[in-house]
């Protein structure tokens, strides 16, 4: 008999959440919510026996639901996270957790009020990629020496999704929150450091003449207390396949991942080539973090540090947008 009962809101990437819970022997998905009748018809056939609803409030009012997975539109995340926390339910959400500093402050307060009993997670799936788990271990062992630069490009390569899809209707849509935040999280998670300040530039040349109203290209430059410098670019309009480019420069070595594949440079001698890595740069599915999150709930593991990194990432992305909006360097306020 399942000891953890989950509900999922949203049947886009949310289906990967469903499958993630199903992979855990002590979990069951008991309720699915979507506002689209066609998606509910699909779920009725694909997942017989699971209750369906068009009203997310049915989930928050159901005392049998232990954990809520949120895979709705970005602008709905904050409200649904807050209602789940108010109902005393664990929460696993797609990114971004929320869109504004005010929303983040309320979420942090509601989560903190539970004293660690309620688990809060976000689906930063690159944490589950074997390549980045390997690189994190290498960094912890000092293989690259002192890291002085983290440089990453989030190449979205799916222009139609912001010119024709739901994103074009989101007020103040941010490509840094909508995609670049994956690289922000990776920067924090891999290096164990967080920046003090940020400066941003952007443009919307690729989407000129389309219904999309905001910058489709944005790059942010970060200063860290250690002296490390970070740069993250969210490039939604590029003519390129969807890819995460990462470059980490240390005093003893360099890690590169781009079209040439993942590799380590560990010698300054130009005659010595790089070591190519065969670790996959992507997780096997977008639900790979969910079984461990479910185990953390069942076993009451302390994952507060991982959650704080998620919250810090939102603080950083908000500062990136503020720096772009005001065209000035912004100090980053953490909660």
Tell me which CATH homologous superfamily contains domain 127-286+315-331.
Answer: Dihydrodipicolinate Reductase; domain 2 (3.30.360.10)
Q: Give the C-alpha separation, 245 to 262, whole Å.
A: 10
Hey, how many other C-beta atoms are within 10 angstroms of the C-beta on 287?
25
CA-nearest of 9, 207, 195, 176 to 99 is 176
The per-residue pLDDT for 2 is 64
- Sequence ranges of the domains in the chain: 4-122, 127-286+315-331
The per-residue pLDDT for 6 is 98
DSSP notation for 182-210: HHHHHHHHHH----SEEEEEEE-STTTTS
Q: Class of 4-122 per CATH?
A: alpha beta
Hey, how many other C-beta atoms are within 10 angstroms of the C-beta on 322?
17
The per-residue pLDDT for 332 is 98
Residues in the chain where the model's pLDDT stays below 70 = 1-2
The per-residue pLDDT for 124 is 98
Using one digit for the tens of pLDDT, what is the confidence trace for 135-156? 999 999 999 999 999 999 999 9
Q: Same CATH fold, 127-286+315-331 and 4-122?
A: no
């Amino acid at each position: 008999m399942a000891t953890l009962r989950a509900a999922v809101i949203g049947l886009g990437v949310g289906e990967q959440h469903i499958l993630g819970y199903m992979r855990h022997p002590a979990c069951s998905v008991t309720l699915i919510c979507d506002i689209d009748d066609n998606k509910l018809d699909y779920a009725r056939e694909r997942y017989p026996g699971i209750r369906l609803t068009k009203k997310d409030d049915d989930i928050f009012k159901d005392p049998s639901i232990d954990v809520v997975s949120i895979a709705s539109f970005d602008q709905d995340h904050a409200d649904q996270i807050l209602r789940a926390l108010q109902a005393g339910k664990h929460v696993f959400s797609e990114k971004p957790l929320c869109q504004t500093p005010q929303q983040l402050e309320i979420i942090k307060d509601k989560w903190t009020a539970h004293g660690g009993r309620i688990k809060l997670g976000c689906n930063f799936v690159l944490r589950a990629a074997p390549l980045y788990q390997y690189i994190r271990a290498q960094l912890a062992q000092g293989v690259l020496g002192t890291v002085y630069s983290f440089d990453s490009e989030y190449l979205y390569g799916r222009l139609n999704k912001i010119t024709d899809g739901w994103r074009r209707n989101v007020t103040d849509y941010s490509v840094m929150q909508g995609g670049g935040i994956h690289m922000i999280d990776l920067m924090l998670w891999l290096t164990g450091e967080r920046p003090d300040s940020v400066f941003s530039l952007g443009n919307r040349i690729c989407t000129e003449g389309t219904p999309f109203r905001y910058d489709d290209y944005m790059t942010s430059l970060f200063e860290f207390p250690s002296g490390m410098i970070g740069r993250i670019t969210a490039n939604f309009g590029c003519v390129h396949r969807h890819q995460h480019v990462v470059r980490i420069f240390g005093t003893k070595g360099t890690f590169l991942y781009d079209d040439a594949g993942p590799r380590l440079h560990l010698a300054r001698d130009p005659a010595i080539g790089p070591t190519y890595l065969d670790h996959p740069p992507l997780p096997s599915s977008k639900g790979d973090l969910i079984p461990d999150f479910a185990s953390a709930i069942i076993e009451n593991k302390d994952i507060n540090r991982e959650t704080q990194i998620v919250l810090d990432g939102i603080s950083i992305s908000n500062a990136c947008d503020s720096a772009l909006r005001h065209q000035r360097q912004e100090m980053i306020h953490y909660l």
